[in-house]
Amino acid sequence: MKHRILVIGASIYQIPLIQRAKQLGHQVFSTSYLSNDPGLKIADKGFNISILDRPGLVKLCTDEKITAVVTAASDLGSLTTGYLNDYFGLAGLTEQQVCSVTDKGMFIHLQEKLGLPRPQSFLLTSREEFEKALPNIKKWPIILKPIYASGSRGVQIAENSAQAKEAYEMASETSALKQHCVLQTYLKGKEHGGECLVESGKVVFLELTHKFSNHKRVPLGHCVPCSVNQILKTALIQQIEVIVKHLGVINSAINIDVIIEPDNTPILIDFSFRLGGNHLTDLMSLKYALDPFERVIEYSLTNKIKSIQVLQENEAVFGSIIMGCPIDSILTESWCKDIEDLVRKDATIIELLFDIELGEKIEKFDQSSNRMGHILVAVDSLTKYKSLLENIQGLALLHA
């Protein structure tokens, strides 16, 4: 059956979702406050409406007779999707379900209520609460996260109380909807990204990634498979299922970040009811012949879905690399050529795309939206991937 599907957001990260919905025969609409977002051009109809403009989106859904709403790679987009599902009685998650994990303050309270492992945490809604929390910090460094911000945007690390004061201001100012933040003990274990699918309240797919970030915690790339033992993976699945059962979630994609402590305890540090960005979905598709976009489209249409098929694992190692520059620069022809030559030498290129044209300005890569493109590769080993990632970063320094 053909549906009229609204995709919330139209950035580079929503393009695969828009394309897949069209391939499945649906009429696809997209929306963004940025008039040049690429998803607006490839959807059947694009609307220059902010994903936070709820009255505008209600009118859009009414006028265009939208029958399903879906998003990917955007926490704020997930909140809006939940709101529209509630308003129009559509299939999919409710706003309350989404908010319970997307609001980082609500998520730490949820972990506490359910008895799940978590770092020492404080919800800060004012400067006064921040000042009261400082003497109670048991271990430095700390990390401050905006209440509402996708991925790493606005996340700050502080080594002492002096740095914490500046970090608090930056994290709070970055938070959308509420100027609040969460203060947590910085966990020094190994951090992994992860994609999960929950169907009928049970985890039917979970894969962690080797995650690599710069000093600002902006993701540089991910690699699969990830060598995590089954006992640890089972413990992580149990935590996820406790959360979804408590919230009454039936079907959903879940994007996670998890820290593996030295004692092998997995601690969920970020949890979102959506597919991830930075091409995690591409890696899952390549490695397991899985179509995450088709699954989430199906979740938006009905609660009754067919069981996920048995996955066939590809033997290769697959990696995504987000290209950026440590300072403002210009994309040159020689830079593009050097990147392609380097990648062809060390890997099999699956996709190498630039977001900007030759001669255009590259903004300093201090948030994911300032990327200049991405690369998807197949390599022989994690070591080869790490070497390639380092060399790409080296090229950026050379050409900056």
Kindly compute the dihedral angle of the four CA atoms of residues 56, 17, 103, 226, in this order, to the nearest 10 degrees.
Answer: -170
Domain chopping of the chain, boundaries: 4-90, 120-185, 190-399
The CATH class that applies to domain 190-399 reads alpha beta
> What percent of the chain has pLDDT above 70?
99
Pick the CATH number of 4-90 from 3.40.50.10140, 3.90.550.10, 3.40.50.20, 3.40.50.720: 3.40.50.20
Give the Cα-Cα-Cα angle 329, 335, 337 (nearest 5 degrees). 160
Mean pLDDT of 1-10: 96
Burial 116-151 (b: 16+ CB within 10 A, else e): bebbebbbbeeeeebeebeeebeeeebbbbbbbbbb
Q: What is the pLDDT of residue 215?
A: 82
Q: Both ends of the chain: CA-CA distance in Å?
A: 50
The DSSP call for residue 382 is H
pLDDT at residue 310 is higher than 70: no
Return the pLDDT at 47.
98
Q: Which of 260, 176, 174 is nearest to 216 (CA)?
A: 174
The pLDDT assigned to 329 comes to 96
Is residue 228 very low, low, confident or very high in pLDDT (cuts 50, 70, 90)?
confident
Residue environment code for 211-230, b if the CB has 16+ CB neighbours within 10 A, otherwise e? bbbeeebbbbbbbbbbebee
**What's the pLDDT score for residue 379?**
97
Q: What is the value of pTM for the model shown?
A: 0.96
CA–CA separation, 16 and 393 (whole Å) = 26
Residues 389, 323 contacting (CB under 8 angstroms):
no
CATH of 120-185, one of 3.40.640.10, 3.30.1490.20, 3.20.20.70, 3.30.2010.10: 3.30.1490.20
What is the average per-residue pLDDT within 308-313? 79
pLDDT tens track for 354-397: 999 999 999 999 888 899 999 999 999 999 999 999 999 999 99
Tokens describing residue 35: 């008039």
Q: Which of 295, 292, 273 is closest to 281 using CA atoms?
A: 292
| Domains 4-90 and 190-399 are alike in CATH topology | no
CA torsion 203-280-367-180 (nearest 10°) is -10
- Write out the DSSP string of 17-33: HHHHHHHTT-EEEEE-S
| Helices 230-247, 95-102: inter-axial angle, 10-degree rounding | 130
Question: Phi/psi at 244 (nearest 5 deg)?
Answer: -65, -35
As a whole number, the mean pLDDT across the chain is 95
Which phi and psi angles does 226 have, rounded to 5°?
A: -115, 125
